[in-house]
């Protein structure tokens, strides 16, 4: 068996085209264009690159992006004040706080300060709670993007056993909620899981988000399964690697995402989708 690559770049490009058409229709009717505020703190080079990608994607679909840069010496109160101002700004539909932040910030307090209806990352407890109650509004971008990938390959969620490797608030936990909402039987594996291989060998769907390069070996995976690799790590050689040992996994699974070019483009596309949704809610 040679697995089929799930092309996240292609799927994300198609979604961006749909969003661009929707924004163009707003413009033709003379409406205000959706606005996204991106807050970045300090001089993190990787964060600057991610923000540039997000702003370029906004420009492509016609969303107005506004970048707010604060020095690493900024205080918690400075950031809370800025968030409060953006919450009240009628031209800002979505607020994105680029993570990670310098160590002196209390991240949870800042994320909760963002209005739930402008929380385009989907991290606010209100939005996670809505997802848990099967009434999602703003959905966490990476898990929602994974769901779009799985639906693209027509996964039969209601007859599938799914394993999520990793239990972070950003990916693992909301990912499990998304799969549960779709009807899958879900297991979350983490650092305290006693027999990870046993769980993986029984899984029809595997979503890994642990950030350990090539941690999951191909022989651990069920033949014919669908594997989504969220993890991405730059090795000393400069090569980017995911959580899955890609070459060995390709010989066993049916569908697999590459790293890079799999989940990453979908995360940005779902951020744009959430921004448009926030705009529609505000309207």
Cβ contact 76:31 at 8 Å: no
260 preceded by a cis bond (ω within 30 of 0): yes
- Residue from 98, 119, 204, 243 carrying the catalytic annotation: 98
Q: How many CB atoms within 10 Å of residue 80?
A: 14
In the residue annotation, 212 being an active-site residue is answered as no
**Pick from 183, 197, 189: which is nearest to 165 by CA?**
189
Q: Which residues contact 192 (CB under 8 A, 6 or more apart)?
A: none
Q: What are phi and psi of 82, to 5 degrees?
A: -65, -45
CA 207-212-214 angle, to 5 degrees, is 80
Catalytic residue among 93, 119, 121, 229: 121
Task: Reply yes or no on whether 108 is catalytic.
Answer: no
Q: Which residues contact 102 (CB under 8 A, 6 or more apart)?
A: 41, 42, 72
Active site residue 121: yes
Q: Helix 172-182 and helix 141-152: axis angle, to 10°?
A: 40
Strand duo 233-234 + 240-241: pairing? antiparallel
Active site positions, annotated: 54, 98, 121
């Amino acid at each position: 068996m040679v697995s089929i690559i799930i092309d996240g770049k292609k799927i994300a490009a198609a979604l961006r085209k749909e969003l661009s058409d929707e924004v163009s229709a707003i413009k033709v009717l003379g409406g205000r264009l959706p606005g996204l505020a991106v807050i970045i703190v300090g001089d993190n080079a990787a964060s600057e690159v991610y923000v540039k990608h997000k702003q370029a994607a906004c420009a492509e679909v016609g969303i107005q992006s506004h970048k707010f840069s604060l020095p690493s010496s900024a205080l918690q109160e400075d950031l809370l004040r800025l968030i409060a101002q953006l919450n009240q700004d009628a031209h800002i539909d979505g607020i994105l706080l680029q993570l990670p932040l310098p160590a002196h910030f209390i991240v949870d307090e800042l994320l909760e300060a963002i209005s739930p209806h402008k929380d385009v990352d989907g991290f606010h407890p209100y939005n996670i709670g809505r997802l848990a109650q099967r009434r999602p509004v703003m959905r966490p971008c990476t898990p929602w993007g994974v769901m779009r990938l799985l639906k693209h390959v027509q996964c039969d969620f209601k007859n599938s056993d799914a394993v999520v490797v990793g239990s972070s608030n950003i990916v693992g936990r909301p990912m499990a909620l998304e799969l549960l909402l779709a009807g899958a039987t879900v297991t979350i594996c983490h650092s305290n899981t006693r027999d990870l291989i046993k769980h993986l060998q029984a899984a029809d769907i595997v979503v890994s988000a642990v950030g350990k390069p090539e941690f999951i070996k191909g022989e651990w995976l069920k033949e014919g399964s669908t594997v989504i690799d969220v993890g991405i790590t730059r090795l000393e050689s400069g090569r980017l690697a995911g959580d899955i040992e890609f070459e060995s996994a390709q010989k066993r699974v049916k569908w697999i995402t590459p790293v890079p070019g799999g989940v990453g483009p979908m995360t940005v596309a779902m951020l744009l989708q959430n921004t448009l949704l926030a705009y529609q809610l505000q309207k």
